Copies of this chain bind each other. A is one copy, B any other.
Amino acid sequence: MTAPLPPGATIGILGGGQLGRMLSVAAARLGYRSHIFEPGAAPAADVAADTTRAPYEDGEALEAFARSVDVVTFEFENVPAEALDRIEALRPLRPNRKALAVSQDRLHEKDFLCGLGLATAPYRNVESEDDLQRAVDALGCPSILKTRRLGYDGKGQVRLAAASDVPEAYAAMQGAPALLEGFVDFSMEISVIAARGVSGEVACFDPGQNLHEGGILRRTTVPAPIPARLRTDAVLLAGRILNALDYVGVLGVELFVTPAGLVVNEIAPRVHNSGHWTQNGCAVDQFEQHIRAVAGWPLGDGSRYADVVMENLIGDDMDRVPELAATPSTALHLYGKAETRPGRKMGHANHVSPKTD
């Protein structure tokens, strides 16, 4: 087994948003320094030992960054391949390129998941309006047309209510490679936050139930109200994905609960918004779990000791901070973003109650 990074080593983090910020704090708690690489505004810079502000196209900055750190991880899966090439030539990248390549492209992701024998929404590749027409004929409506790359928080998606929506929906993709996903009749969305260490051990946090509004995660509730059988399925399925990718770090898996069992919605090769509840529900949270894996430590104990409702604070929800600050059993986590904008994730609140299950 690889020896863990020594105390005082530096972890490079691609991306300086709130996930990078919370990763940086977790790294510090384990005695490591963090170096953030971020082209734009970086809330993570306030809690990192070093920050490089440069575009991903700046090869020199990337290489200087890589040389200054001991291992590189990311909070953001859409880092350009060329940037990753430069980094990987100099330092280990955890999780690895395969995990990134799969999750950067919805088509590859679905092919990969189906190849593992897992259920996904029915899907068709769409490279032309004719493709889309045939896909709608095959999968029916309602269905969702999604760009293959660079979508998040509901962006890059168009819903088709009827076959007559095809021309407008196709035009909205502006020529970007896309895929059509058929309708999945699900009772709820859950997610499981799973981790795999350098020596191959796997650990999962309890699944949570997710509620979205306008394509953005609004709330995650643990425990998810699902039978024990499905909890087991979720864990086994996450383990299968992690092992197939030879993954090191934390992975988020979004799942639909359907009458026929669990259907994988998507995977995120990083700490995940739906895992923020772990900060106030577990001795080791998802951020520390990720840093443990990336630094070559044994995975931590992710047992849940409380019930938690995690609520995202989006845009004007910040007006509720004084009220939330005065609410017992509510832990606030604010991201220090300079400007409040509609739809912008500004923080989250974990509402904690005694463990029932």
Chain A positions near chain B (C-beta within 8 angstroms):
4, 7-8, 21, 24-25, 28-34, 45-49, 280, 283-284, 292, 297-298, 300-301, 303, 305-306, 318, 321-322, 325-336, 338, 347, 350, 352, 354
Contacts and interface: CB of A to CB of B under 8 A. Distances in A.
A292 B46 contact: no
Given A298-B325, A303-B328, 12 more contacts: A7-B336, A21-B28, A25-B29, A29-B332, A29-B334, A30-B332, A46-B49, A47-B47, A283-B330, A283-B350, A283-B352, A305-B305
Contacts of A303: 328-329
A107 B48 CA distance: 42
Contact of A301 (B24, B33, B300, B328): B328
12 contacts: A7-B318, A7-B336, A8-B336, A21-B28, A25-B28, A28-B47, A29-B332, A34-B46, A46-B49, A284-B331, A297-B325, A303-B329
Contact of A30 (B25, B301, B334): B334
A7 B335 CA distance: 9
Number of this chain's copies in the complex: 2
Contacts of A284: 331
Nearest to A30: B334
Contacts of A47: 24-25, 28, 47-49
A305 B335 CA distance: 26
Contact of A334 (B31, B331, B334): B31
Nearest to A331: B283
A300 B169 CA distance: 49
B8 A283 contact: no
